[in-house]
Amino acid sequence: MQLPKGVEWAAHCLVVLERLGESHPVPTSTLAEVYGLSPTYLNKHLQALSRHGLLISTPGSTGGFSLSRPAAEITLADVVEALDGDRTLFRCTEIRCDGLFQDRSAEIRASGACRIAAAMWQAEQAWRESLATVSINDLAGGIDALSGQNLNEFVGNKNRKAGQDI
């Protein structure tokens, strides 16, 4: 079981958008160049972030993506949910009510959740809670000064070419 590859791409792009400040929306093609990613795949992931309310998508020739809210209010739990959904990792098909136990299935269900399922889901909650403690703001602090400067120059040049600073 592995998380979709897009989680790494999406988290990094959110950090880039935080680092660039709120001045202009950044097009997918620019974000893709920053990390040498496929623009087509990256766009799918950015659309998913947008559908989940983490990004705002501005259409048009000077359009692109920007953060929908302060980076301190976007966490890794939001990113995982946007890219992977909110289904539980563990699925319970209630086998405890099958086979030998079929006749007593109503009684067994009434006795509460299966202990196995409950323990599996409690562990998942610990995972999601840990992800929810880390914001894009926290992560952006990990970009060193020189990388931040490279990033700003690169995106600034791109935007100038696109006529955004007129």
Q: Which residues bind to its own copies, rule: CB under 8 A?
A: 1-5, 7-9, 11-12, 15, 33-37, 76, 84, 87-93, 95-96, 98-102, 104, 108, 111, 114-117, 119-120, 122-124, 126-131, 134, 138-139, 141-142, 144, 146-147, 150-151, 154
The closest alpha carbon to 38, from 81, 16, 9, belongs to 9
CB of 162 to its own copies, least distance (A): 18
CA distance linking residue 99 with residue 112, whole number of Å: 19
Does 140 help bind ligand FES (rule: CB under 6 A)?
Answer: no
131 binds ligand FES (CB under 6 A): no
- How many Cα atoms within 13 Å fall on the side-chain side of residue 154? 19
Q: Please, which residue, 72 or 116, has the CB nearer to ligand FES?
A: 116
Cβ neighbours of 52 (radius 10 Å): 16
User: Contact 24/164 with Cβ under 8 angstroms?
Assistant: yes
Question: What are phi and psi for residue 39, nearest 5 degrees?
Answer: -60, -35
Segment 83 to 112, residues that bind ligand FES, using CB under 6 A: 92-96
Residues that bind ligand FES (CB under 6 A): 8, 12, 92-96, 114, 116-117
